[in-house]
Homo-oligomer: A and B are copies of this chain.
Amino acid sequence: MPRHPALSPTLSAISGSVYSKLAQQLATHQGTVYPLHVGDTWMEPPAGCRMEDFRVADHPGMHRYTAPQGHPALLAAVAVRVAERSGVPTTPDNVLIAAGATGALGAALGALAAPGDEVLLLSPYWPLISGIVRSFHGTPVPVPVLGCETDPAAAVDAVERRRSGRTVALYLNTPNNPTGRVIPRAVLQALVAWAAKHDLWVIADEVYEDYQFAGAHSYTRPLDPERTFAAHSFSKAYGMAGNRCGYVVGPAATMGELRKVATHTFYSTPTASQLAALAALGEIGDTWVAAAREQYRDTGAWAAARLGVATPQGSTFLFLDVAPWLTNGGDGLDAFLGRCADRGLFLAPGPSFGPFPTHVRLCYTAAPPERVREGVAVLAELLGR
C-alpha cells in the first residue's frame, strides 16, 4: 500500500517523457536543428482561427467556464460534421468535447476500464495510449500487426491470440501514427465483427482522418455505432495542438460516464479553444486543410522516396526499421538516435510505439518542407541511401 514518501505503484510501469533522453541534447545542440521527433505541424493555424481573432467585445465571458460537455455551438457543429462524414446519425448527446484527443481517449478509457482490465492495442500505436490505460489502472496489451495490417484473417488472429478473460476493449489508430499506413475497410470490418463476437468495446483513434492522401477515410464507428468510441482532434487537422481541443463520439447512453471522467481530470475544454475550433469547422478550415494535405503529401512522398521506403498513405509520419545500422560495433537504438542528434536530427524511438526495438519515427510536418528535406538528407546519408 502506498505511504509517504511512496506513490501509487501503478505509475512506475509508465515511462516518463517519451523524448526525455534526447531533450537535453536538443536544448544544447549547436547549429541547425531538425526536430522531426515531435508529432506536430510547423504551420500556424488559419487566420480567423487564432486566439487574436477572439475578442471579449465580441465574445463576452469567453474566459469563463463553458458547459463541461462542450460549448453548445461547437457540440452542435461537431454532431453535424460527424453525421455528414460518417453517415451515422449523431447528435450532441453522442459527443464530448475534450482536452485534445488525449483527454477524449482518457475519458473513454477511464469510463470503460476498471483496475486490471486489459485493453488490446493494435501496434505500432500512438505513444500515449499505453500510459492512458495505465493511468486508470488498466493493463495495456500490445498486439503487433506491422506487416499484416492489410490482411483481415491475420489481424483477427493477432488480436484473438492476445485476448483473455480480462479483455474489455480493442484500440486502433488509422491513419496510423507512426506508420503512415491506413487500415483497410475489410480489416476494420473483420476486427469489429470479432469485437462484437466477444462483447468488447472498440476505440478508434482517427485524429488523422483529414490527412489521408489517396481515397476517402474509412470510419470505424459506422460498422457498429453502439460499440465504438471514435476520437478526433482539432490539433492535427488545423495546427492547433497547443489549444488542447478534440472530441470523442460514442453511444449516447454511455457519454454521461465519459463526461464524469472528463469533469474530474480537466473539467472542461478551454472556452477560447472551442471558439477557435468552431471557426475552423467551415470554409476557412477546409481551405487550410486542403492546402496542408497537399503539402504534407508531397513532403511525405519525397521523404519516403529519398529514404527508399513506401510512400505514406496518411498521417504525418514515416516509421523506419534501422536494424542493419544498430549492429555496427554492437550499439543499439539509443546510440543510433544519438548519432542522428549529433548532426541536429531528432527522431522518436520505436519502443515508444510498442515492441519495436529497432525502429525510428520521423515526422515530416514538424518543420517547414525545406528544413524537413535537409533533415531527411541527414538521415539518408547515415543510412547510406
Query: Hey, which bits of chain A sit against chain B, CB under 8 A?
Result: 1-5, 7-11, 14, 16-17, 38, 40-41, 44-45, 50-56, 60-66, 68, 99-100, 102-103, 106, 110-115, 117, 128, 131-132, 134-137, 165-166, 168, 195, 199-201, 226-227, 239-244, 251, 253-254, 256-257, 259-261, 263-273
How many copies of this chain does one complex carry? 2
B137 touches A137 (CB 8 A): yes
A54 touches B56 (CB 8 A): no
B269 touches A244 (CB 8 A): yes
Of A40, A131, A264, most B-chain CB atoms within 10 Å:
A264
The complex places the Cα of A113 from the Cα of B6 at a distance, in Å, of: 10
A260 touches B99 (CB 8 A): no
Residues of B within 8 A of A136 (CB): 135-137
The complex places the Cα of A21 from the Cα of B242 at a distance, in Å, of: 34
Residues of B within 8 A of A131 (CB): 260, 263-264
B99 touches A99 (CB 8 A): yes
The complex places the Cα of A65 from the Cα of B37 at a distance, in Å, of: 13
Nearest chain B residue, comparing its CB with the CB of A41: B64
A4 touches B200 (CB 8 A): yes
Quote the shortest CB–CB distance from A301 to chain B (angstroms). 24
Query: Which residue of the partner chain, among B5, B9, B244, contacts A268 with CB atoms under 8 Å?
Result: B244
Query: Which residue of the partner chain, among B62, B135, B165, contacts A264 with CB atoms under 8 Å?
Result: B135
Taking A52-B52, A131-B260 as given, write out 10 further A-B residue pairs in contact, using a Cβ cutoff of 8 Å, ordered by the A residue number: A3-B199, A4-B200, A7-B254, A11-B110, A41-B64, A62-B242, A99-B244, A100-B266, A110-B135, A136-B137
Query: Which residue of the partner chain, among B2, B5, B268, contacts A114 with CB atoms under 8 Å?
Result: B2
Query: Which residue of the partner chain, among B1, B132, B257, B265, contacts A166 with CB atoms under 8 Å?
Result: B1
Residues of B within 8 A of A239 (CB): 63-64
Residues of B within 8 A of A254 (CB): 5, 7
